């Protein structure tokens, strides 16, 4: 008899724990998570930030938004240009990014917290340095260049890394130069 009563107590405790666990999971599900996304299709046109005889620095602004229901944090963000020398080797390329609300010029992306349904803008810089000493001549045969933007986001759950892509076309450079 005591075994039957002990099993009933254990089963009752297990059922209570399972019910509380399910209620907790439903509560967490209702709370949601962050969903920070870049909006590369809404980027601005490239503009000239600096230009001299040997190099040109262009920039564009890319909006981002937190579509989720919790705060999200962009812990790190960096662009990676994709211009192999087999495709085009007349320029050296440097890229960096920063949050428009907190500009930095040391190449470090300062973490930013984004509230639900809010957003901001990042600025991506591309510096093209001519190898011949004349940037206009070096850019005459410039093909397109993809720029992958990697960003690490953390919210209520583990961090995740996302990637979006923008493209710098020869027409973008000509438009920025005013041709």
Same domain, 76 and 152: yes
CATH code for position 135: 2.60.40
Residues 18 and 82 in one domain: no
| Average of per-residue pLDDT across 125-139 | 93
What's the number of domains the chain is made of? 2
Which range is least confidently modeled, 21-35, 53-67, 143-157?
A: 21-35
Say whether both 124 and 152 belong to one domain. Answer: yes
Q: Give, for 148, the enclosing helix (H) or strand (E).
A: strand 145-154
Q: What angle do CA 124, 127, 133 make, to 5 degrees?
A: 170
What's the rounded Cα separation, in Å, for the pair 47 and 125? 10
pLDDT of amino acid 85: 85
Are 116 and 144 contained in the same domain?
A: yes
Same-domain status, 64 and 2: no
pLDDT in tens, 11-48: 899 999 999 899 888 877 777 788 999 999 999 999 99
Residues 147 and 82 in one domain: yes
2 is in which domain, residue-wise?
1-31
Residues 19 and 68 in one domain: no
Q: Are residues 96 and 55 in the same domain?
A: yes
**Do 77 and 137 share a domain, yes or no?**
yes
């Amino acid at each position: 008899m005591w075994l039957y009563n002990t099993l009933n107590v254990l089963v009752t405790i297990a059922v209570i724990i399972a019910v509380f666990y399910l209620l907790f999971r439903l509560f967490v599900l209702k709370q949601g998570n962050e969903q920070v996304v870049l909006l590369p299709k809404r980027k601005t046109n490239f503009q000239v930030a600096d230009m001299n005889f040997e190099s040109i620095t262009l920039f564009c602004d890319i909006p981002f938004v937190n579509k989720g229901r919790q705060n999200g944090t962009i812990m790190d963000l960096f662009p990676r240009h994709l211009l192999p020398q087999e495709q085009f080797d007349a320029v050296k390329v440097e890229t960096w990014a920063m949050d428009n609300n907190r500009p930095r010029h040391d190449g470090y992306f300062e973490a930013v917290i984004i509230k639900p349904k809010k957003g901001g803008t990042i600025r991506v810089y591309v510096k093209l340095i001519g190898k011949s000493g004349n940037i206009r001549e070096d850019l005459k045969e410039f093909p397109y260049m993809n720029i992958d933007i990697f960003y690490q986001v953390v919210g209520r759950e583990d961090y995740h890394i996302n990637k979006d892509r923008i493209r710098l076309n020869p027409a973008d450079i000509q438009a920025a130069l005013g041709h």
